[in-house]
Structure 1
Amino acid sequence: MRFIDNPYQCPVTRTMSIIGGKWKPIIINCLGDKSIRFGKLNQLMPAISNKVLSNELKELEALTLIERTEFQELPPRVEYKLTTAGQSLLPLMHEVAK
């Protein structure tokens, strides 16, 4: 197959355009099969700034790989968890981590 005309026809290129980068794979791996609050994610990844973490989470949510749940309580609480599509990436993340 030739992907020269449209590189996004290549499955590897498409996948890397979605989950590539420095933080997205780490966020997906940290979430695993549980819901995690923003502050806990920040603790698990101390090298990431709040702004970058927030932006990465928004991008993953827009890609429907994570789900954001906001609880109406004081203090405000927001939790993130992987969607079914996001969970389907976990075997890939585990293979990469080997």
Structure 2
Amino acid sequence: MSAPGPERDPDGTERPMTPLERLDAGHEPRVTPPMWDAMAYMLTGPIMLGLPAYLLDRILGTDWLVLPGVLIGGAVSLYLVWVRYGRS
């Protein structure tokens, strides 16, 4: 396999490779399995809605906002996983 050279822009002129392109040249791109993507969705939803609810609890002096925030975040995460991976 020969070393990759400069690529061509749409107008036909050559452009040098960026350092990131040189580092990644000749390697297959990494593809994460859908299982890990779904896991990331499931963890991110409750965190992204539970954390602001926790902060609001601290600011407002209440103690009931965290649970709805986490539950709504989990529901949104489940919906996103179903939309992205559940349909055939």
TM-score by length of 1: 0.28
TM-score by length of 2: 0.30
Whose strand proportion is higher, 1 or 2?
1
Whose helix proportion is higher, 1 or 2?
2
Structure whose alpha-carbon radius of gyration is higher: 2
